[in-house]
Structure formats: C-alpha cells, structure tokens
Structure 1
Amino acid sequence: MALKTAQGQSVEESAHLRWELEQLSEASSCFLKLDQEKQSLQGTIQGLRDASLALQESSFQHRELEMENQQLRKQVTVGAVQNIRAYRWPGAAPRCR
C-alpha cells in the first residue's frame, strides 16, 4: 500500500513538473518574442533618429540657401535700379548732375 501511495505521489509530482516545464517553456518563448520585438523597435527608433538628424541638417541647409537667395535678390534689385537710373533713353536730354 505504501508503495502504491509513493508511486501515486511520484506520478503526480512528475505531472506537476511537466506542467511547470511547459509553463517555463511558454514563458521563455514569449520572452524571446518580446526580445526580438524590442530589437526591431530599437532598430526603428535608430532609423527615425537618423532620419530626424538628416531632416534637421536639410532644414538648416534650406534656411542658409534661403538667406543667400534673399541677399542675391537684394543685389539684383539694387543693380537693376542702378542700371535703370544710369540708362539714357535714346533722344532724351542729358541729365544734370
């Protein structure tokens, strides 16, 4: 009788240990999936950081070009006004200065 009781307990313990092993296996699988997802998200974050830096640099270059463009427009406008003032229409009387 004691042998049957011990065998019964052993079977129960074995079943319980099998169940715990399955739970650990599932948890381990879940952990691996989460780790893979974490690595993927970290890669996405790094890609977004790189894109953000490139966008900032591009924006800075755009502002520099815009400022240079404004300066060139001013120079062209001033030059055009000076050319108009200096131009003498054919048949026009000479200007007194």
Structure 2
Amino acid sequence: MSRIQLHDKTFDLFISEAEVNRAIDKLALEIGRKYDGKRPLFLGVLNGAFFFAAELVKRLDIECEISFVKVASYHGTSSSGTVTQLIGLTGAH
C-alpha cells in the first residue's frame, strides 16, 4: 500500500487514481443526463476542489459555467475553528 507524506503527517492510500477517474467519469455522465439542455453553474471551493472541478468539467458533454470561492479555517494543518472568506462571488449573478 502506498504512503503519502504531507508536512509531519503520513497517510495510507485509500482510493486508487483509477477508481477516482472512474467515479469522475460516472458523475460526469449522470450530470450530463440530468442537466442536458441546461447550463449549470459549478462552484468549487479552493484550493482543495480545483483539480477535481477541472477534471469533472473537462469530462462533461454539456455547456456549463464554473466559478470558485476560497475560504480558510486552517493554518498549516491546524484549524482555527473560524471560516474566513478569502475570495467569493461578489457581484456574481
């Protein structure tokens, strides 16, 4: 089993890259069927969802929009317990 080091933490691989890709493919197909003929807005939360959101939108066969918000409650690997909005949707419709 693969191990991943992040700062002073060690993690065991839980889901393989192939499994993640299959799940994203399946989700893209489901979203495509449900929102065919519509133009959904996908809202990703930075930084963690950036790569997932990019992969999902690339695999969609429907027109859509994507935007991001950035919030933080962590400094390093410790939570402050308070969520702070760093970038948002001010002025978005």
Q: TM-score with structure 2 length normalisation?
A: 0.25
- If asked which structure has higher relative contact order (CA below 8 Å, sep 6+), I would say 2
Higher strand share: 2
Larger radius of gyration: 1
Higher helix share: 1
